[in-house]
Structure 1
Amino acid sequence: MSWRLFRTPALAGALALAALAAYLISTGLDIRAARDGYLAQCHATAGCAPVLARLVGDYRTRLLLLAGVLGLVPVLIGMFWGAPLVARELETGTHRLAWNQSVPRRRWLAVRLATVVLAAMLVAGAAAALLTWAAAPVDAVAGDRFGTVNFGARFLSPVGQAALAAALGAATGLFLRRTLPAMALTAVAVLTVLFVMPNAVRPHLMPALHVTRAMTAEEIDRAHSLGTLGSAPVVKGIDVPGAWVTSTSELLTPDGRPLDPGVFDDCLMRAPKTGATGTFGDSSPCLAAHDLHLNIAFQPNDRFWRFQLTETGLYLLLSALVAALSLWRIRHRT
């Protein structure tokens, strides 16, 4: 019965997955053909790094867009598979028939929820596997395994996201008892989880390592930007080779105190003329003259799979808790 009720949404999901798979396979073959062409060039010129960097530049935007599309899959699953699961029964009144058969209502919900959650995990896992395969040559060169968008769209994490989205949708529909409001609230809830996880939870899944880096003029010129709208003494875009930088301190003086914002602003806006030709011109030697340093927290790339497994396990644990709440609620409602 669960399959008969779910087969139309499942067919729609299968068709969408087939279309996405066709595009991802085409993109993956295109990337590999481009990589082979670039490798032929670098063998002829004895320099692969600059040539392969062009491969990353050619496909970075497309792969980010595909990762963004894949990030919407849990949202759509929660809205169209999870939210109507119970809400439609309550809204149309068919729960009076469904819940008065020989099958108890908790078993009814458990089987229907398991059907949808497993289907959601299969669809999200297949899409993630295809994107991981298609982007593999670019990811190998870029080395951005912990990127906020890339991490959540590759390997195992989308499987956990889809399970939680389906469970959240079903629980929301059970409590709201109306399909459209449940769909809207589910979308907001899933988007909130997908924003909070990489920005507030993921950096703290494991204790970070720390390093202190002296900010010479050369180091400052390697940064992406200096300062904020409030002229805070910050440096953005500092990299640690082979690692994910989770946080950086403000520019610190030799005694460990933050650099005075007035001094920082003077170096940005009124630096003495030195003829420096780096990224930030005269500002870099002006700041370097104050003997500054940064405290950097980072996660090594060799922790990637531990982060993937931990985050996916956290999603699945939350899914189980939400499902348990739904089973409790359906048993105790009139």
Structure 2
Amino acid sequence: MGASSWALALLGFSTSRVPGQPRSIWLGVAAALGLAAMALGTVAWRRARPRRRRRRLQQVGTVAQLWIYPIKSCKGVSVREAECTAMGLRCGHLRDRFWLVINEKGNMVTARQEPRLVLISLTCEDDTLTLSAAYTKDLVLPITPPVTNPLLQCRVHGLEVQGRDCGEAAAQWVSSFLKTQSCRLVHFEPHMRPRSSQQMKSVFRPTDQVAYSDASPYLILSEASLEDLNSRLERRVKATNFRPNIVISGCGVYAEDSWNELLIGDVVLKRVMACTRCLLTTVDPDTGSTDKKEPLETLRSYRLCDPSEQALYGKLPLFGQYFALENPGMVKVGDPVYLLSQ
């Protein structure tokens, strides 16, 4: 049965043509009735389809700072806007923790072992990158290491990950600045296999991946939480002691602990877990010196997890929250931050 005949039958009309009646008239009536039936069916379907509940938006703050840390454990770069990608912030050629310092065995070298790493900066312009540090001559390198440079097997927190060697000049520059051990600089390239965040912490999704970050592509901290900590310290610390990617202003103290899902512009970020804190927070980002005590000891006095969560966090204090990307887009300093709720 054709569509026109089906429509007639559906509406209770006979599908047999009356003898002597012109075929063109019969077909015209059938076509008109067919369109009417389709329209009625569409309306009925739309009425039957369940409506999606609109999610409520509540502004909880404003983006105050955006930070990219191109080399793991080295100096951060403050940016006005950045693209949120699945593996962290990107601004031009700058990617968050896409470069890594390793030792001769391929293990990561961080400011936990080499506090002076926080004094090294990496900047990009056009097709070159520049390594800089105080009282040291800048080193200019190509942004993309030559494909003839070897691919090295590296380890970040015990997990294998590749890196393209940035060359002898970069290795000598970093080693000379640190003056403690022979090091090399490697770069993560798009074709390389990322590390799985879930292998670091089971609460992450199988799809959450990072290059050289510890576990998560996004760390969010509020100015209010930082100010609360500083009110307990004799010597103030900065946001860069904690290396957040997004700093939020205009919210309550530790409000970020309860933000399950955030909307910033078109970007949606979903909270995964709190960030545990280690000796890296005791390194002064301006001098590279460390007393190995504060602010860690103060954080331990009031920011330990609930005993029921010790399997996840252990006995390390918590400060800031790890987020994973739900929807990509651009974020800018000054953007309102909304809490998404059902």
TM-score (norm 1): 0.19
Which of the pair has more CA radius of gyration? 2
